[in-house]
Copies of this chain bind each other. A is one copy, B any other.
Amino acid sequence: MLIEFSIIPIGIGSSLSAHIAEVLKIVDASGLPYKATPMGTVVEGEWDELLKLIKKCHKTAMKSGDRVVTTISIDDRKGKRNRIEEKVRSVEKKIGKALKK
């Protein structure tokens, strides 16, 4: 399944890149296929490994402040693999044109 998540520490200033960096170090070290986007991080895997990863990221963010808002979107589809690459590719085939990625 595909999961996108975004972790927002509240009340520690309006620049969050140092905190997002800590989160992305954890994701990068996980070995799971991922993509860092301007609005979140997309990771592909199974429920338990993905939620364990996001818990670790969320708990890390909680260390630096009193409040964290985390949003998660899950797209789970039976019998499909490598959707982190194939979903956009499948749309490009339908359009007949490469999209900006």
User: Are the C-beta atoms of A90 and B17 separated by less than 8 Å?
Assistant: yes
Which B residues are CB-close (under 8 A) to A91?
Answer: 17, 20-21, 24, 36
What interface size band does chain A fall in? Answer: 35 or more
Interface of A is mostly: mixed
A-side interface residues toward B, CB under 8 Å?
A: 2, 4, 6, 8, 10-18, 20-21, 24-25, 28, 33-40, 42, 47, 51, 55, 58-59, 62, 65-79, 83-85, 87-88, 90-91, 94-95, 97, 99-101
A4-B40, A66-B78 known; 16 new pairs, CB 8 Å cut-off, are A4-B37, A11-B14, A28-B99, A35-B37, A35-B100, A36-B91, A38-B83, A40-B73, A51-B55, A58-B74, A62-B78, A67-B75, A69-B69, A70-B72, A70-B73, A72-B72
